[in-house]
Chain A
Amino acid sequence: MTVYVKGVVFDGVDFDDPNSWNIDAYIQRGGYAALKKIIAEGITQDTIIAELKTSSLRGRGGAGFPTGLKWSFMPRSFPGQKYLVCNTDEGEPGTFKDLDIIVNNPHALIEGMIIGGYAMGITVGYNYIHGEVFAAYERFEAALEEARRAGFLGDNILGSDFCFQLHGHHGYGAYICGEETALLESLEGKKGQPRFKPPFPASYGLYGKPTTINNTETFASVPYIIREGGQKFLELGKPNNGGTKLFSVSGHVNRPGNFEVPLGLPFSELLEMAGGMRGGKKIKAVIPGGSSAPVLPGHIMMETTMDYDAIAKAGSMLGSGAVIVMDETVCMVKALRRLSYFYFEESCGQCTPCREGTGWLYRVVDRIERGLGRPEDLDLLESVGKNIAGRTICALGDAAVMPVQGMLKHFRAEFLHHIEHKKCIVPGY
């Protein structure tokens, strides 16, 4: 289920119409108008990047980095080949927004990437799509074909000198490829093991060439910003948190789904849109930004707004906008055990602290859950966490540690009860 209140990414999409994704429907609702305007009016690269800066669009993949700033890093006068890459390798537990974008409005993403290519002087792009959503990959390929036939993609776009080729590339089951340098390795046909940074992709990216990588939702927001203006986009949200954001709400709610709402919406309103708590139960905890974000108790969330700054102030991260809601029946030890297993399973094995440490975290949480916990285990978890965080090439290590730290900070008593009484306070998931 997808709902949008104020549409940017899903502007005008009819979710009941199975043909709403195609190019004719997209053009009818104003699609490709931004690209046509750029070509017809000869809008400069600097003007496009300035418009993005005005919009205050921040990267929607999780890091929240200002998009206009990122685009300005690209060496536009670089004489050789440069690449534009979209990250649709959406595998962070709780996140399922990019899937809905590709299935329901793929041309918004394609138009956003074409504009990106134009603004940064790039002629080739790839979209890396999560392997598990193979139908979405096929949908994207079909949409690309439509765009090529219509003259929006390829050589001499709309009769101009501007050329841009775009291709789909699928993953095949590796969470780590959502990390941008692992994604580049994978795109080169290798194991998805992250690279040291620096050098950053803007100077050494795909095939060693300057590369800009953005998330699906980020690119899909660009046509609106060019069409309607950066100021209008900014005003949809709040200062420093421009625009709307897709929130993927999952867990114990009546209507899980994606909700496109203005940044800064109170969490309580988002919860209401998702139909409230399933079975009328009491809210216990929320992971507000995907499984890597520290958990927050329900009562803190009920007083928080959904934007980058407010969630950071509350002690977590907005991340990719994946909101996992848990009611009073959830055993936090069991919940953490499942998440810790995930990071253990998905560690690429390159850095020792992560490869070994994620196993330690999982095994210790697992033994607490099974009633075999020891009094010193919570200190041990904290110590292992400290020896992973900040000591690895990429952020997967940190991502494995943050859920543990969040759980121990807010639900320590529940873990102690497990260790002492060898059982849960509450029944389970």
Chain B
Amino acid sequence: MSDLNSGLSPDSLAQIDREVAKYPAEQKRSAVMSALRIAQVEKGWLSADTIKLVADYLGIAPMAAHEVATFYNMYDRSPVGKYKLTVCTNLPCALSGGAEAGEYLQKKLGIHYNETTADGKFTLKEGECMGACGYAPVLLVNNHTMCNHMTPDAIDRKLAEFN
């Protein structure tokens, strides 16, 4: 089933409408970042068809929405696992176990960065600074949930929650 046929849910469209209302009437394009985020939450990832749905809804060129979807790294343009885990390995986090957290997750899940487990449950990503260095190591779950102090023990407990 293609995304074009299924459209976006009334709930997603209502959420997009709320975002559109924040900007001047002739500047609906400003809502594209939120709209793509809302569409991604509903669909799991952003296919070209989903991006076009968003563009059509906002009345902008599909390419304008595509440019945004490809520029910002939290948009997933290919399917990801049920849980996308992004671990920050930048220097401040690395000084407090960020790199080890990434290595531990790779071992534990049996995948490398940018891979998805065979059961489709987990995708692992290496991320850049999330602006939470004081809480290192940090892990972002499905883009929106930040988990702090992710030592190996804490990672074990977190993964157990997903089972």
Interface, chain A (partner B; CB < 8 A): 1, 81, 90-96, 98-99, 126, 130-135, 167-175, 186-192, 207, 248-252, 256-258, 291, 322, 324-326, 330, 335, 338-339, 342, 345-346, 348, 429
Q: A98-B131, A188-B30, A346-B128 are in contact. Are A250 and B146 (CB under 8 A)?
A: no
The answer to whether B91 and A207 touch across the interface, beta carbons within 8 angstroms, is: no
A99 to chain B, nearest CB (A): 5
Query: Which of A133, A248, A250 contacts B96 (CB under 8 A)?
Result: A250
A160 to chain B, nearest CB (A): 23
The answer to whether A93 and B134 touch across the interface, beta carbons within 8 angstroms, is: no
Q: A172-B36, A175-B128, A175-B129 are in contact. Are A93 and B27 (CB under 8 A)?
A: no
CB-defined contacts of B132 to chain A, threshold 8 Å: 96, 99, 132-133
B140 within 8 A of A: yes
Q: A98-B131, A190-B68, A256-B136 are in contact. Are A342 and B31 (CB under 8 A)?
A: no
Query: Which of B36, B129, B144 contacts A135 (CB under 8 A)?
Result: B144
Interface string of B44-80 (1 = CB under 8 A from A): 0000000000000000100010011001111100000
Q: How far is the CA of A367 from the CA of B115 in the complex (A)?
A: 26
Q: How far is the CA of A1 from the CA of B91 in the complex (A)?
A: 19
Q: A189-B64, A190-B67, A324-B92 are in contact. Are A250 and B131 (CB under 8 A)?
A: no
Q: A170-B33, A171-B33, A174-B71 are in contact. Are A134 and B144 (CB under 8 A)?
A: yes
Q: A207-B24, A250-B92, A335-B91 are in contact. Are A132 and B60 (CB under 8 A)?
A: no
B50 to chain A, nearest CB (A): 15
The answer to whether A339 and B91 touch across the interface, beta carbons within 8 angstroms, is: yes
Q: A91-B131, A189-B68, A190-B67 are in contact. Are A135 and B146 (CB under 8 A)?
A: yes
The answer to whether A96 and B128 touch across the interface, beta carbons within 8 angstroms, is: no
The answer to whether A132 and B92 touch across the interface, beta carbons within 8 angstroms, is: no
CB-defined contacts of B129 to chain A, threshold 8 Å: 91-95, 175, 291, 342
Interface, chain B (partner A; CB < 8 A): 22-24, 27, 29-34, 36-37, 60, 64, 67-68, 71-75, 89-96, 99, 127-136, 140, 143-146
The answer to whether B90 and A250 touch across the interface, beta carbons within 8 angstroms, is: no
The answer to whether B128 and A189 touch across the interface, beta carbons within 8 angstroms, is: no
Q: How far is the CA of A272 from the CA of B40 in the complex (A)?
A: 45
The answer to whether B37 and A170 touch across the interface, beta carbons within 8 angstroms, is: yes
Query: Which of B22, B73, B99, B134 contacts A169 (CB under 8 A)?
Result: B22
CB-defined contacts of B128 to chain A, threshold 8 Å: 91, 93, 173, 175, 342, 345-346
The answer to whether B144 and A189 touch across the interface, beta carbons within 8 angstroms, is: no
- By Cβ-Cβ distance, the 3 closest A-B pairs, closest first, are A189-B29, A173-B74, A173-B73
Which one of B36, B74, B132, B136 has the greatest number of beta carbons of chain A within 10 Å?
B132
The answer to whether B33 and A188 touch across the interface, beta carbons within 8 angstroms, is: no
CB-defined contacts of B96 to chain A, threshold 8 Å: 250-252, 256
Q: How far is the CA of A290 from the CA of B156 in the complex (A)?
A: 31
Q: A99-B131, A192-B71, A257-B134 are in contact. Are A324 and B91 (CB under 8 A)?
A: yes
